[in-house]
Each structure stands twice: as structure tokens, then as C-alpha cells.
Structure 1
Amino acid sequence: MRAMRLHALNERLRLDEIEPPVPAPGEVRLRVEACGLNFADTLHVKGRYQEKKTLPSALGGEVCGIVDALGEGVEGLARGDRVAALVGEGLAEFTLADARLCTPAPEGMSPEAAASFQVAYGTSHVALDHLAKMRPGERLLVTGAAGGVGLTAVEIGKLMGAEVIACARGAERLEIARRAGADHLLDSETQDIREVCLGLGGLDVVYDAVGGDQWTAAFRSCRFGARLLPIGFASGEVPQIPANLLLVKNLTAIGFWVGAYKTHAPEVLSGSLAQLFAWWSEGKLTPHVSNVLPLEEAEAGLDLLRNRTATGKVVVRIG
């Protein structure tokens, strides 16, 4: 099979011909149709992600594919089933997946859409619903609101009944967030985040994919009892959280890494994805895939994420 693999840190991916993997007990092998790329993949290239890969290794953590083979003990799945799954090496013609993390893809959903749902929509849904327990009428700030993950937070936040402030760079990106349902648009290059948020009455929930100065401004814009979700650090600066301000305002900072749920609570992820697919089937969610590339151009997809030029999801079409 063909696979785009990383052989050494800080190098470009190479297109390799290797043997297809064999599923272990509890696993299935998928014939990959499409693989979603995420900012985490760019961190894997640098060796800076929480989870370290043994090289050489393919990147890509989410796919849509057809069940091709089943490991011992797998129940509820059969060869030929079309599923979305969180995986370890998705940039390949075949990959392995934990059967517990395979969710049937809705009829009529494109491979690109199904592959792009799990990390972006799943992160936002689990963060806002399961962790922050956001309620209708609360005010939500989303930083990096036109990115692959941030845009889903805008959409899900609005679906959950929040008043959504979308923070992004420039009118073009903010227009994308507006179409996703944002109530207020905040240009991070020309406007003062704290001034705007306090002017609206302060924040109840912060969904921050940027870090750095944007986190600091959002933190200082929180109302009593607000919840803050540090989702990622696209700015390259990991913020420090002053515990004294947590105390004074009764704030809660909630860490969330989707990879930990794969090991410790896979049922939370599969349950979330089932709900998200149901919303898609009802016409309540519209995934925004901005770029679709062939397998041999996966490196160009990573460049779109590194340069923060993608608006929405970047997907590699394989099968």
C-alpha cells in the first residue's frame, strides 16, 4: 500500500510503498477514503505533540474508510461497513482503528465531510457540552474562530444556544465565522479583545485555540464563575494561568486533550460523534472543508495549517 510517512523530525513526508497492517484483537483494518489533517499533525513533525510517534510513521488522526478486516473479538462491525474513526496513521491506503472508536458514517455524507468531523467537531462538542456544560444564553468567546476547530466551536456554540463572539484575523475570516452563526465579530488584528468582550458584558465560556495574548485578554474578560478551555496554542505561546485570579472570580480552567479520551473514555468520543452525525443528518451542521488534496500532496496540506491560511478543514482524499 501507499503511505505518506515521516522518517525524521522536521523533515518533509515521503510517499512509501509498505505492507498493509494486520489488525490486532479489538482492532479493524480500514481501506481509507479520506483523512482529515489537523494542527496536531504539524506538531508531530516537530516532535512537539503530547503523543510521540515511533518513526517512520504516517500522520493523520481521523479518517473515513471501509472496514476491510477484523481483529479477534470485534463485534458490531462487519467487512464493508463505512465508518469514521480516530486512528494513529491515517495518511495511508489502509490503517488500523480501535473498533470502539469506529462510528457508522451517515448515508449521503461525503468521505471528506465524514473524515473532517471527528477532531474538529468532536473537540468542540465534548469541550463545550461534556466539560464546560455550557447553557443556553451564556456568552461564548471563540478564538481562532475561522480555523478548522474554532469554526466548529462557533457552529456548535450557536446550536447549543450560546451568544457567540468569533475572534479571528481579518474581514474574510470573520465573514466565514458569521456564516457559521456568530453573533459578534472581533478582529484580533485591529480590535482590543478585552474591551470588546467587557463591553458586551463579559464572558461565561472561553474556547481558546490560540493562546498567547489572546488567552490573557480573554481571561481578564471573564465574568464570575466562567469556564475557560485551553484547546490549543496556534500562536506558539503557552499561557500561564494566575491561580489568584481563578480564586477571586471563581473561574474554572478545564484542560482537554482528545487523545486521552481515546484511551480512558472512548465511549465519550463515540457518543459525541453519534450525536454530531445525527445533527448533520437533521441539517443542523455544515462542515466547512476548504481544501481537498491527493495523498501525494499531503505535505502541501500541512503547509496550509502551518501558515494558518486554511479556512476550515484540510482533507486528503485517498480512496
Structure 2
Amino acid sequence: MDDQGTELVEIEEFTLRRVSLGKPKVTITQSAGTQNKELPPASERDNFYLTISSPGALDTLTFQPAPNQKPGSGEVEIEVGAAGLNFKEVLFALGLMPVPSDFNLKFGLECAGRIVALGEGVENFEVGDKVMAFGSSCFSQFITTPAQLVVPKPESLSLQEAATIPIAFTTAYYALLKLGRLRQGEKVLIHAAAGGVGMAAVQIAKWKGAQIFATAGSPEKRQFLHSLGIEHVMDSRSVAFADELMQYTDGKGVDMVLNSLGGEFIPKGLSVLARYGRFLELGQRDILNNSQLGLGSFEKCLSFFAIQVNSGLPEFNSLWCEVVHQFQEGHLSPLPYRVFPMTEVSDAFNYMARAKHIGKVVISLEDKGAIKSQMSTENTMGQEVQETLSFSTALSHQFPISSVNPGKLKKTGLPVSKSQQQVELLENGLSPSEGIEVFNRILGSIFPQVLVSNNNLIAGINSNSTSQTTSYLETFEKPDLNFPIQSIQPIQPTHSRPDLSNAYVASRNETEQKIAHIWQNLLGIERVGIHDNFFELGGDSILAVQVRSKLQETFNKEFLTTDLFEYPTISELAGYISQKQVEKNDFQQAHDRAEMQQEAMQEEIQLIERRSKRRG
């Protein structure tokens, strides 16, 4: 606190003063040196969770403030340090899979961290214990979860390494050993073996002495699996794997298939099983869609297991502890992983959606102050701050930017201005190290008003908003800006249009221009011609989902992801949109005519009734 009694907040090398018209929302964040100090009660601590406002558009992932929940009987509260991302969550975010009622689009199913509070009756843990856990909303600062879902973290593992373990290894362990009863010398096919569950299954199968056959979706992943000593690795994106596998096994097939692929891959997988083989189904989509499956393959006395490992599983805690014991004994080891800071969480979802990962994707939640400073909620800033940031608020629809006064900055720290899409701040905000450099430069500045952005201000404005933004900026008297307003230009492309068989043809109307703009942004291409095929430009089914979302937002109409497969060029898609509008207009006109005819008929009936009454 300062000499006026105002509470201060220490964040690395900065001291920030609370400023708020209402209840202060900024609280003390822990640094490395205070990790073991007692925290305030749960009701007095800030928390947040990750959600998505528009499933199908990953750029609407955002952290939201959340009340902190005191652990109840048999529960523990964990301060999350790292959390694993799972493909099921990506499918939820993309709108490709029905969301369970208990999920509520609060992401994060597994984590590693330290216990900060114990509920009544919890005796096998202490405050301060480092743990791994299953839970809900694990992309949060704190989570409360049943103690039976929590196990001690092996001391040799970091929090990020520990976050690769819960779902991947318990799922693979339960499938291969508890249900499949994998034995030494048996043959097992592991689909998508470079993913989280796949790589965990590879470790378990090797440990048990099984012969492994694998599939993966890219040459790089297949090469990686070869480097692990797996001789036979096939393409997971082609059903040709079945014929190849039967050749490798001299027509005998395998004893077990660990499957995560859908559609026609399921009957193909059943076809490569030897007599008394076991089919272990990890996927949910075909089950939820009630897909049909012929029984012919089961003439070989096959077993089919639908697998979903969660807290509802009988004796779940025993399974979880058994898995961790194998790490302590050295039989298993953490998965390879890629870490994304919490401020780049949408990048993590995109990365997994494009199937680029090997092993696990882990979100680090150790820099919680970055999220707190970037989450902007009602009543978090005083009037003085709102006035200071009014200039940048006008621009927040296009790019994250803040306007600060260096003179006041020497004693006051300011939260960033609220953005319409908060995730833009998460993706483009300054890191702590960048903030230190910028603050040092601002404090030595002679300018009374300074704009701060980590990306080029000019590059932050797209072609559709250039004139509007320029016009708006001209209404401000800001003589200290170090560039002319007229110099604002459209956003710059990331790479040029690839060589295609068709020549480039520019957009001819507003509809085509809007579609081209969506494609350019999502594909990162300099320019897109109206006859360019979306998939030849590098598009895929995941990007198609995001295109659908942007089309619905832009044209205020319903679209299907399959529309892009049926109309893969801008000209075809624009024609389809125009036709939909014509059909809508025709329908409306027909509806209006029918209403007019009905009204005329009603009037005629009423006239006849009146005449009948007069005659009566």
C-alpha cells in the first residue's frame, strides 16, 4: 500500500494501482517466491474460465471472469499450472460434435497444479501438494474437483509434463489392458498413433511386448513413428491401410484395433481383425449419430468395446492410481508436447484442429496475470481510465490498442481497453517482457498521448474499414501521432497466391468481395480469384467449418459445411448465395400473394354473410 492507503499490485517489475468505480477486480497475483504462502479465502479470489461465444469460429474463444468455488465435502481446490487440450474439445469448439449438458462449453478436462484448499473429509492430501487431476473447466486459475479424480504428481515431472498424462494414459491403459487384455506377442493396430492417446498406447503396447502396426495422417508423423521403432506405419487418411495390413500379416490380421477414425474406417478396421479379435472404439461421432454397422464381421467372434474414460467409470480412482504407479516404476513416461501460453489459446485450438501436433498440446496457465490484465469487464476501470482509453475504444473493433499518458503512468497501471472480441487481445497483446520494454520507452517519452500495439497499427486495419477508421480518427485532435492519418492502408497479406491451373480473376460484385475477404483472412493468401478452388488453396475440412461460421455472420444466413465442398469456388458460392436469396424472395412473394388471396377470400365471405343477413 502507498502512503495514501491505496492498495497496490505487484506484477514482476511493475507496481499497478487499483482503479475502479465499483468493486476492485484486480487482485494480488502470486510470483515464484510466494507460491507456498496461504491464499485468501476462495470467495475473495479472482478466477476465470475459457469458453467460446460462437461454436465454429475459434477466434471467439475467450476467457471470462468466474466466481471461485469453495471445495465441498470430498473435494479439493487446485491452482492450475498447466492443462492438456483434447481433440474432443476442439470438436465441441468447432460445432462438429454435440455438447454434453454438463460441459457447458467451459473447456479443460485435465490439468496439473497444486492444492490450495481441502474440503471436509479429505485426508490423503495436504495444501501445497503438487497433483495431476481430471476436472471440468481446467483452463481456469482455480478448479474444484472430487479428490478421487486427483493423484500426486511424480516428483520427477514438471507440471507441463504431468498435464500430458491424465486422459491419454488412462484411456489407453483402460482400453488395451483392462478391456482388450493385451498379451505379449499379440498384434495391435493403433490408429492416429502420433496423437495423445495413440502415443500413450504405443508406450503401453511396447511395455507389454506386443507387435505394433500404426497409422498417422502426414509423412512427418509417419516418419516420427518409424523413429520410435515401429516398422509398419500406414496412412490414417486412406482406407488402403486395410489391404496393406493384411499383406504385412500374410492375411492373418491383428488381434486388436485401437480405433479413433470414423465412417468407413470402422468396418475396414473390423475386417483386419483375426478370429476372436477385439475392436476398441474411442470415437463418439458415429455412436452419437447412430451410424449403421453390419454384423457380418462378427462371424469371427469379435468383441466391440465403446470406450469413454471418466469419473463415472467403476473403480476409476484405482485405475488412475494404477496408471500413475507405472510412471513411478519407470514403465511409462510423459508424452512429447507443444506448449502454448494461455494468451495464445485460440492458436492451440487451431493447431490441434489442423492435426499438426505430435503427442499432446498443453496450455500453460502460469502467467495468470496476463489474462487478468487483458480481461475487461464492466466496472473494472475508473472514469479517469475510461477517458484515457476512449481513443483506443473506437478502434477496438479492428485491433487491440491502448492509449496512455506517460505522466500518469509513472504512478498508475492501466488495464487494456475492452475489445469486442477479447480473444484478439489474447492473441495480439504484449507479453510481459515486451511490456517492460514499451513502458520504459513511454516513461522517457515527451508525448502526452502514446498508442501501444505489438503489431503494425497500419496492418491492423482491413480494406473494408480503412475509410471508416480514417474518417473517425480525423475527428480527434491528436497532433502527437507520429504518422499521417492518410497513410493507413489495408491489412497486408501473409503469402502470395499459389500457382493454380486457372488464371486469377478478381471479384465482380459485393458478394464475391465479401467471400474473397473471408478466404484471404482464413487462408492467409494475398489475393483469391473467383475461380480458385478453396481446397487447392490449402483449405481443409476444419477451415471449412470456420468459413461456414464467417459466412453465416457476414450474410446472416444459415450455411452447411458441406456447401463449401459442393461450391468450392467464390463464383460458385456467390451464385449459390444469390440463388438462396432469389428463392427466399420468391417464397416471400408467394407467401404474400397467398396472404392477399386469403384476405380477399375472407372479405368476400364476410360480404356474402352480410348480404345473407339482410335478406333474412
The alignment's TM-score, normalised by the length of structure 2, stands at 0.48
2:352 aligned residue (305, 309, 315): 305
| Number of the residue aligned with 1:124 | 172
Separation in 1, partners of 2:344, 2:321: 33
Deviations 1:269-311, CA, capped at 9 Å, x for gaps? 32333234224xx26434111x211112222211122221112
How far the C-alpha of 1:83 sits from its partner, in A, is: 0.5
| Number of the residue aligned with 2:547 | none
Separation in 2, partners of 1:204, 1:54: 35
Deviations 1:173-227, CA, capped at 9 Å, x for gaps? 0122233442421124578211122121301000011122332222111100000
Separation in 2, partners of 1:250, 1:284: 32
Instruction: Please state whether the residue corresponding to 1:16 is helix, strand or coil.
Output: strand
Tell me if the contact between 1:215 and 1:239 (Cα under 8 Å) persists in the aligned partners.
no
| Number of the residue aligned with 2:483 | none
Tell me if the contact between 2:49 and 2:63 (Cα under 8 Å) persists in the aligned partners.
yes
Separation in 2, partners of 1:69, 1:284: 30
| Number of the residue aligned with 2:341 | 294
1:269 aligned residue (299, 306, 319): 319
Give runs of aligned pairs for residues 47-62 of structure 1, distance below 5 A: 48-49=97-98, 51-53=100-102, 55=104, 58-62=106-110
How far the C-alpha of 1:230 sits from its partner, in A, is: 0.8
Choose between structure 1 and 2: higher strand proportion: 1
| Number of the residue aligned with 1:5 | 50
How many corresponding residue pairs? 313
Give runs of aligned pairs for residues 125-274 of structure 1, distance below 5 A: 125-189=173-237, 192-199=240-247, 200=249, 201-232=252-283, 240-246=292-298, 248-259=299-310, 261-262=311-312, 264-274=314-324
Separation in 2, partners of 1:277, 1:269: 13
The alignment's TM-score, normalised by the length of structure 1, stands at 0.90
Deviations 1:46-79, CA, capped at 9 Å, x for gaps? 3835633464x53110000100001111120110
Deviations 1:231-261, CA, capped at 9 Å, x for gaps? 1268998864322321x100000111012x4
Equivalent AA in structure 1 for residue 204 of structure 2: I
Choose between structure 1 and 2: higher helix proportion: 2
Equivalent AA in structure 2 for residue 114 of structure 1: A
Percentage of identical aligned residues = 27
* Alignment of 1:318 onto 2:365: yes
Separation in 1, partners of 2:212, 2:62: 41
How far the C-alpha of 1:115 sits from its partner, in A, is: 0.8
Instruction: Please state whether the residue corresponding to 2:148 is helix, strand or coil.
Output: strand
Q: Identify if the C-alpha distance between structure 1 residues 79 and 110 changes in structure 2 by more than 3 Å, giving closer, same or farther.
A: same
Deviations 1:135-175, CA, capped at 9 Å, x for gaps? 11111001111112212212211111110001112321012
Separation in 1, partners of 2:347, 2:289: 24
Deviations 1:116-138, CA, capped at 9 Å, x for gaps? 10111111111100111111111
Unmatched segments (≥5 aa) in structure 1: none
| Number of the residue aligned with 1:111 | 159
Aligned-residue CA RMSD in angstroms?
2.4
Separation in 1, partners of 2:80, 2:146: 14
RCO comparison, higher one (Cα < 8 Å, 6+): 1
Tell me if the contact between 1:212 and 1:237 (Cα under 8 Å) persists in the aligned partners.
no
2:69 aligned residue (21, 45, 58): 21
2:124 aligned residue (54, 70, 76): 76
Separation in 2, partners of 1:39, 1:268: 25
Instruction: Please state whether the residue corresponding to 2:188 is helix, strand or coil.
Output: strand
Tell me if the contact between 1:142 and 1:206 (Cα under 8 Å) persists in the aligned partners.
yes
Separation in 2, partners of 1:151, 1:110: 19
Equivalent AA in structure 2 for residue 314 of structure 1: V
Instruction: Please state whether the residue corresponding to 1:21 is helix, strand or coil.
Output: coil
235-244 or 41-50, larger mean C-alpha shift: 235-244
199-208 or 42-51, larger mean C-alpha shift: 42-51
Equivalent AA in structure 2 for residue 298 of structure 1: V
Tell me if the contact between 1:211 and 1:230 (Cα under 8 Å) persists in the aligned partners.
no
How far the C-alpha of 1:263 sits from its partner, in A, is: 5.3
Tell me if the contact between 2:49 and 2:66 (Cα under 8 Å) persists in the aligned partners.
no
Tell me if the contact between 1:44 and 1:53 (Cα under 8 Å) persists in the aligned partners.
no
Instruction: Please state whether the residue corresponding to 1:186 is helix, strand or coil.
Output: strand
Equivalent AA in structure 2 for residue 300 of structure 1: D
Tell me if the contact between 2:192 and 2:236 (Cα under 8 Å) persists in the aligned partners.
no
Tell me if the contact between 1:40 and 1:49 (Cα under 8 Å) persists in the aligned partners.
no
Separation in 2, partners of 1:154, 1:237: 29
